[in-house]
Amino acid sequence: MGFGQGSGRHHLNMDEAFAAYEGVRHRLPSTQGNGACQRLTDLSALAPDIEVFFLDAFGVLNIGETAIPGAPERVAALQGQGKRVLVVSNAASHPHASLVSKYKRMGFDFAPRDVVTSRLTALHALRKEPDCHWGLMASEDLGREDFEHLNATYLAEERSAYDSVDAFLLMGSAGWTEDRQARLENSLNHRPRPVVVANPDIVAPREYGFSTEPGHFAHRLADRTGIQPRFFGKPFQSIYDFAFARLDNVDPARVVMVGDSLHTDILGAQTAGVRSALIARFGFFADGDAEKAIEISGIRPDYILDRP
Burial annotation 111-121 (CB, 10 A radius, 16+ → b, else e) = eeebbbbbbbb
Cα 167-171-172 angle, rounded to 5 deg: 130
> How far, in Å, CA of 92 to CA of 96, rounded?
9
- Tell me how far apart the alpha carbons of residues 96 and 4 are, in angstroms, rounded to a whole number: 30
Write down which residue in 231, 257, 276 finishes a domain. Answer: 231
Q: Give the integer Cα–Cα distance in Å for 161 and 207.
A: 34
Q: pLDDT digits over 143-191, tens only?
A: 999 999 999 999 999 999 999 999 999 999 999 999 999 999 999 999 9
- Domain total in the chain: 2
Domain membership of residue 17 (yes or no) is no
Instruction: Give the model confidence (pLDDT) of 5-25 as tens digits.
Output: 333 345 678 888 899 999 999
% of the chain with per-residue pLDDT over 70: 95
The reported pLDDT for the residue numbered 288 is: 87
Q: What's the chain's average pLDDT?
A: 93
What is the reported pLDDT for 10?
53
The residues, ordered by sequence, that sit 6+ positions from 238 with a Cβ below 8 Å of its Cβ are 121, 125, 232
Q: Taking a C-beta distance cutoff of 8 angstroms, is the pair 120, 148 a contact? A: no
User: What is the rounded CA–CA span in Å between residue 113 and residue 250?
Assistant: 17
Domain boundary among 231, 262, 286: 231
Structural domain span for residue 30? 22-120+235-305
Q: Are residues 107 and 253 in the same domain?
A: yes
Q: What is the CATH number of the domain that holds 153?
A: 3.40.50.1000
Nearest of 103, 167, 180, 101 to residue 139 by alpha carbon: 180
pLDDT, one tens digit per residue, over 256-306 is: 999 999 999 999 999 999 999 999 999 999 888 999 999 999 999 999 999
Is the domain of 256 the same as that of 114? yes
User: What pLDDT does residue 65 have?
Assistant: 86
- Say yes or no: 186 and 43 in one domain: no
Instruction: Determine the average pLDDT of the residues in 67-92.
Output: 97
Instruction: Enumerate the β-bridge partners of residue 89.
Output: 117
Same domain, 39 and 111: yes
E strand or H helix at 78: helix 71-80
Same domain, 268 and 295: yes
Domain end residue (candidates: 231, 261, 295): 231
Q: Is the pLDDT of residue 249 over 60?
A: yes
pLDDT on residue 63? 86
Average pLDDT of the residues in 102-120: 97
pLDDT score, position 7: 33
Is the same domain home to 175 and 211?
Answer: yes
